[in-house]
Amino acid sequence: MSFSQFTKPIRSLDELSSLIGIPSDVSLRKELTSLDGHMRSFIEHSPFLIISTHSSDGRCDASPRGDSPGFVHVVDDNTLLIPDRIGNRRADSYRNIVETGRIGLLFLVPAIGETLRVNGRATIICDEHWMTLLSAHGKRPQAAVAVNVEECYLQCAKAIIRSKLWEPHERPDQQRLACAAEMFSDHVKLPEFDCAKLQTLLDDAYQNRLY
């Protein structure tokens, strides 16, 4: 892909440092190599996170994960377990983890501006003991992501404040933002999966196939 339409790309780390400056001592010292009590508590209160991974050929993926607060199990200060709930079987994150064994996590807690970033190594596990521990609503996950924490730190709240993420929002105008079923129908372009059919499938998935 060409970025020829842009005339002032940053091409070196020196150029980048000259543009944005260097990080403060506080922003560097806040990074830890293992979870402390504050971070463990943050994860235990988090019902939502984003998993970022990359493939061996450099393709990147960011995928949401969510459940009741505490669904991510803190095994110890360097180990997390993220259960796999029923999904669409694309398994993009899992494929990337198998290929590269690397992961980045961003934890959010509703009404809290700060987020928690965790980076490290990852593997896919399906040990009977852990799958039973990670069960929800009587359903065992087929697998889980085991994360070995290498670096972790609290991210400031500026992005959440600017986005007003936790403030009340009206639903988007349906004439300006299509519903998911309409988007999917336009994307898959299969006659047997029109908007109405896809809406029925989505309704069933959201009501009956969360676990």
Whether the pLDDT of residue 156 is over 90: the answer is yes
| Percent of all residues in the chain with a pLDDT value above 70, rounded to a whole number | 99
- What pLDDT score was predicted for residue 29? 87
Hey, what are 198's tokens?
């896809």
Instruction: Show the DSSP H helices in 108-155 as ranges.
Output: 128-133
Q: Rounded mean pLDDT of 141-151? A: 97
β-strand pairing of 73-76 with 115-125: unpaired
Q: Rounded mean pLDDT of 130-137? A: 95
Whether the pLDDT of residue 177 is over 80: the answer is yes
Task: Convert 118-132 to b/e letters by CB count within 10 Å (16 or more is b).
Answer: bbbebebeeeeebbe
Hey, what are 65's tokens?
């994960």
Kindly state the helix (H) or strand (E) to which residue 100 belongs, with its residue range. helix 92-100
- What pLDDT score was predicted for residue 46? 98
More confident position, 89 or 104: 104
Q: How confident is the model at residue 196 (pLDDT cuts 50, 70, 90)?
A: very high
Angle between helices 195-208 and 180-188 (to 10 degrees): 120
Overall CATH class of domain 26-163 = mainly beta
Mean pLDDT, rounded, of the chain:
94
- What pLDDT score was predicted for residue 69? 97
Q: How far apart are CA 35 and CA 131, in angstroms?
A: 23
Question: What pTM was computed for the model?
Answer: 0.91
Whether the pLDDT of residue 131 is over 70: the answer is yes
Q: How far apart are CA 150 and CA 119, in angstroms?
A: 6
Domain coordinates in residue numbering, the chain: 26-163, 176-211
Question: CB pairs under 8 A, 24+ apart, for 28-31?
Answer: 30/153, 30/154, 31/151, 31/152, 31/153
